[in-house]
Structures are given as structure tokens and as C-alpha cells.
Amino acid sequence: MPKYYDVLDSNELVVLHEVSNLLTSSLDLKESINCVFELLHSRLGFMKGILTVVNQTTMLPSIKVSYGINSEEFKSQSFKQWEAITSKVLQSRGPMIIPHLDEAFDISGIKNVESVEDESFICLPLILGEDIFGTLAVDFLFRDDENLQFIIKLLDVVALLIAQELKLKKLLDIEKESLRKENVSLKHELSEKYDIHNMLGKSKVMRDVYQAIKQVSSSNATVLIRGESGTGKELVAHAIHYQSQRAAKPFIRINCAAIPESLIESELFGHQKGAFTDAFETKIGKFEAAHGGTIFLDEVTELSPQMQVKLLRVLQEKEITRVGGLDVISVDVRMIAATNNDLEKAIQLKKVREDFYYRLNVFPILLPPLRDRNMDVLLLAEHFLERYCLDNNKSISRISSAVSDILTYYQWPGNVRELENCIERAVIMCNGDIVLPKHLPPSIKVLEDEEVFSFSGNVSLKDKVSRYEKKIIIDMLDNVNGNISKAAKSLHTTHRILGYRISQLNIDVDKIKAS
């Protein structure tokens, strides 16, 4: 063991610098104090050390780190003396220095006889301002008074550094606790608004949807999500998965409309090498990849009746066979399907098999169109405003009341997605602090010009119908960049009839094209 007097000439600043580095190098105080004791031992020959920390709530002391003391010594008489000194130091808030331990008497007046060498003992309070954080006690060989003074001076600074660390920890703990409380209260506040996994909406219809999601999440039941385009079906599928016990396992989406018929089986169930011309390698399918998790079959009505039969079997048997393979592979997968099609009509048209429909329809969730959840529109609009401001590095503070009126009364044929796109566009268009009607897409803005939605006063049925008709035509023209032929086709009418209505309803097609 190196003797402290060998290194006495070493610059005390170097030691202090190392101590300070050690204290700030780790977030784990216990670990860094241990390193400090190790350093004091190797550089100055300290033999034993104890850091006692006072709990800042109960003010009770406890040993945080001990160095060089074995379990036997903990039970010894001299250790009891250490303990007694520590509590005295805590009470008096002053240091206790015993140059020669063998000459000291313990608290009960018994002379300490266990010490064989001439040891010194120092116990310093860890104080910063009014706060006392604990004590630092060390035991080392006595050399001479000068050396003792040097060590006292050095330890004084070490104690201050440790006290600073403990104060910092105390402040961090207070901040952590206040953040935790704030987090809990924000979560509580949010739960009233958001309720489920990224889904916004406080309307009764949406609360019913949340309830359904909560109910079904804990089960393994197949879920069928129905709703118009842009109503949030994919969000619901996510919510179910992430609320379920499968959350840590994969969630795999398959867009049934986007995969060619010839590839879908291999995509879903995988294939063996050589199963078909391009099968150069054995590949696992989405069902195997989703094992333990959830598979989301989006636009499920696009699957061919043959595939429906195969899926039905998988759902019943919970087994798959790779294309070209012989082995039967067990899979544990929860299935969620979604469609915006009229399923009953699809059955009539023989696009969807009835048995498949019944198997899917175990737990249907119907997402209401945005026009049926009017009270959520502004909530969603503000949410998207915040998000797209962040994305586009803009600071728009609010939506004008005129825009709020327009958004609230608009019928949103494209549902939440259309609202999201509308706000994204407004954020891009707006260079000021407030979103104004001029920042909205023409299909919405034009209507505002003519107060289409304010049905106050004496408005005849004919007028109301005309206004809606105008809105529908403008929306469609906006979708197809003002192309009348395309709009006519989508609205199942002729170019001539649509052209006539456009002129009757005073729709400015050029303005729509320009936008």
C-alpha cells in the first residue's frame, strides 16, 4: 500500500481536480464516491472511509458508501465509535478530528484498544449553506501535525465538492418529482381530450369508439374497422395493437389493394426456395413475421375470394404453409381488418365471401365520418396547426374565428385526412400570426365568401340544396384540378350537365384551377 507521505509533495490541486472529475463523471453517486475513496487510498494512503448521507425528507442518516471496512469490522467496538462520532458531527454541524485514535475514548468512556497503529480519524460535515447532507469520515496513518493539517485542508474541499453533488442531486430529485407530478396531471388532462393512443376527439361518437377499442384490446378477437376514407381506421388499428398485450411484438400492415393478386399469397405466407420462377431464396411471409403480434389487413375487400378462403383457414387453424412448402407452421397472430367499402354490397356482388365476412365481423368498430363529430373539428384543427407549424418551422398562434366557423360548418367529405391536408396547406400559405380564410383551399373558401353555411334567416329548401350542390361540385373540381370532364365522371353525370350547373351556380372554375 503506498504511504501518503510518499506523495505529500504532489500538488493537492491535482488530487482535487481528480476528485472533482470523478464526482461529475457518473450519475451514480455511490459509484463515484467509491472511486474517490479509491483515489484517496492510492494517492494518500487512506485506509478506511465512510460516506453517510442524510435523507432530505426524513433527515435520518444512513451509510451510503463504505470503503476498506469488512463485515466483521462493522460489528466492532471501533466502528460503534465511528457511528457515535458521525451522529455528533451531524448534530454539532462541526468537524471532529482525532489525531491519535488509540488515545481516544469512545462515547461510553472506554479507551479504544483495538487500534494497533497510530491512526488518525477525521469526520467532516457535508454542509452547503443551511443544508446538511451527511458526513465524510476517513481513517489514515498519522505522520506529523503538518501532514494532518494538509489532509484536513484537502478533505475540507473534498467534503464541499461532495456536498455540492448531493445538493445537485437534491435539486434534481425535487425537479424530477415536480415533473412527475406535472406529467401525471397533464396525462390526466390529456386523457379527457385525447383518450387513446394519438387519437383526438371528445365527441360522444368518438368516446364510444375509444370504449370499443379498450374492450377489444385485451382479447384476441378479430376486429373489423369500418368507416369512410380518412376517418382514422389505421389509427384505430394501431391503438388496438398498442393497448393490447401484443404491444411489444410486431404490428404489420398489409395494403391488400396494393399487392398484385399473383404475389399476395407469398407476401402473406412466404415461399420456399424454387416455389416459382423468381423464388431464389426461401422467404418468410407477413404472418410469420408478425408472430406474437398483430396483422392489419387494410382494404381487406380487395382480397380475391380464393385468398379469402385461405385466410379463413389460417384464422381457424392458426397455421400457415409457405407457398411451395410442405411444413405446417403455427402462427399466433391477431388479425385486424379495415375497409371503407360497403361490405354488404360487396357480398351481393360476390366480391366478398359470406363466411369470410362473418369471420371478420366478430367485433366491428364503425368510425363515424367527421361531419358527425362536429365538436372535434376545431380540436383536430388546432392539433394539426401545432404539428405543421413545428414541421414547417412557423409560429402561427391561432385560427381566426372566421376560419373556425368555416371549418365547423364544412362537411369534410375526405374526413380527418382532408382536414389535416387543409391545415397543412394553410400553414404553408400563412406568413402571419393567424390563419385567415384566404389561407384555406378554394373548395372551402369560396363557400365562405357566399356564406353558404350560415343558414340563418329565411333560406328556402331549394337554396339550401343549391348551396350543398355547389359545395359538392367545388370539392370535386378541386380534387381533379378543375377538370370538368373528370369531375363529371366522378359525379356520375355528363360534361354537359355539370357545365350547365357550374354556370348556374356561378362557380369560378378558373379560380379553382389557379389554386
Q: Which residues bind ligand ATP (CB under 6 A)?
A: 199-201, 227, 229-235, 340, 380, 416-417, 420
> Which partner in ligand ATP, Mg ion, none is near 270 (CB below 5 to 8 A by kind)?
none
Looking at the chain, the number of H-run helices and the number of E-run strands are: 20, 16
Q: Which is nearer to ligand ATP, 227 or 270 (CB)?
A: 227
Q: Nearest approach, Cβ of 370 to ligand ATP (angstroms)?
A: 8
b/e map 293-325, b = 16+ CB within 10 Å: bbbbbbbbbbbeeebbebbbebeeeeebbbbeb
Burial zone of 473 (CB within 10 Å; 0-12 exposed, 13-18 middle, 19+ buried) = buried
> Which partner in ligand ATP, Mg ion, none is near 310 (CB below 5 to 8 A by kind)?
none
Q: Which is nearer to Mg ion, 134 or 369 (CB)?
A: 369
The amino acid sitting at 63 is I
**Tally of CA atoms within 13 A in the half-sphere of 362 that contains its CB:** 16
> Which partner in ligand ATP, Mg ion, none is near 339 (CB below 5 to 8 A by kind)?
none
Q: Which is nearer to Mg ion, 233 or 271 (CB)?
A: 233
Q: Which is nearer to Mg ion, 416 or 507 (CB)?
A: 416
State the number of binding residues for Mg ion (CB under 5 A): 2
Q: Give the C-alpha separation, 370 to 374, whole Å.
A: 7
Please give the residue whose beta carbon sits closest to ligand ATP in the complex. 232
Q: Nearest approach, Cβ of 219 to ligand ATP (angstroms)?
A: 22
Q: Give the C-alpha separation, 288 to 432, whole Å.
A: 51
Selection from 67, 85, 95, 82 nearest residue 152 by Cα: 95
Q: Which is nearer to ligand ATP, 232 or 413 (CB)?
A: 232
Residue 106 is a binding residue for Mg ion (CB under 5 A): no
Q: Is 105 helix (H, G, I), strand (E, B) or coil?
A: strand
Q: Give the C-alpha separation, 308 to 397, whole Å.
A: 50
Cβ atoms < 10 Å from Cβ of 230: 20
Q: Give the C-alpha separation, 291 to 367, whole Å.
A: 28
> Which partner in ligand ATP, Mg ion, none is near 227 (CB below 5 to 8 A by kind)?
ligand ATP
Q: Which is nearer to Mg ion, 12 or 234 (CB)?
A: 234
Enter the DSSP assignment of 196: B
Q: Give the C-alpha separation, 45 to 80, whole Å.
A: 23
x/- mask, Mg ion, residues 227-256, rule CB under 5 A, reads ------xx----------------------
Q: Which is nearer to ligand ATP, 49 or 201 (CB)?
A: 201
Contact indicator for 111, 105 with CB cutoff of 8 Å: yes
List interacting residues with Mg ion (CB under 5 A).
233-234
